[in-house]
Amino acid sequence: MTITSSTTLRNDYAKISAMAHASDEPIYITKNGEGDIAVLSIEALERRDEMIRLKAHLDAVEEGRLEGTQGISVEEARKRLMEKYKNAGL
């Protein structure tokens, strides 16, 4: 975890930006010694958002499975994927 002051952000934005891109983690910014905001690269934010969407989808599928929702077989999944790729020209 990286913590830095709002003064550093104000005076050396390029350094904070480089740190955010290099660490791929939020940079916590303090104001008057207290936590204020977090800075994260756009790429890292998009990856986190995608992981959250995937987790939500997996949770929904698992909930359906526990409730007895019928899934599809491996063979049916393979057939659907082959058809999809065939239609996409791959």
Model pTM score? 0.67
Closest by CA position to 19, among listed 11, 6, 10, 28: 28
Residue 83 has pLDDT above 70, yes or no: yes
Q: What is the pLDDT of residue 1?
A: 84
pLDDT digit string, tens, across residues 24-69: 899 999 999 999 999 999 999 999 999 999 999 999 999 998 998 8
User: For residues 5-29, b (16+ Cβ closer than 10 Å) or e, as one string?
Assistant: eeeebeeeeeebeebbeeeeebbeb
Q: What is the pLDDT of residue 10?
A: 93
**Token pair for 83:** 């058809």
Q: What is the pLDDT of residue 21?
A: 94
Instruction: Round the average pLDDT of the chain to a whole number and report it.
Output: 92
**Exposed/middle/buried for 40, CB within 10 Å: 0-12, 13-18, 19+?**
middle
